[in-house]
Amino acid sequence: MKGLVLEYIDNGTQLGWLIDRKQHRVFIYLPNIAIEQLDNPKTLNGEPLLLGFVLDLSQIW
């Protein structure tokens, strides 16, 4: 799955979130930036690409 997200980034996607529901982890993919891992975050912020967008993860966990 991670390889698929990287393929999207390589083809122009500006933001990718890989949400692992079982482990309560989120991997954030951005072009030219190391993959960031968040453990059990309460929310995801879409800034600066998705201004004002916040994903509440309480319904997912």
pLDDT at 22: 95
Helix (H) or strand (E) holding 4: helix 2-10
Could you give the CA distance from residue 18 to residue 34 in angstroms, rounded to a whole number? Answer: 14
Question: What is the tens place of the pLDDT at every residue in 14-54?
Answer: 999 999 999 999 999 999 999 999 999 999 999 989 999 99
Closest by alpha carbon to 14, among 43, 51, 39?
Answer: 51
pLDDT band at 9 (very low <50, low <70, confident <90, very high): confident
Is residue 1's pLDDT more than 80? no
Could you give the CA distance from residue 54 to residue 61 in angstroms, rounded to a whole number? Answer: 16
pLDDT at 27: 96
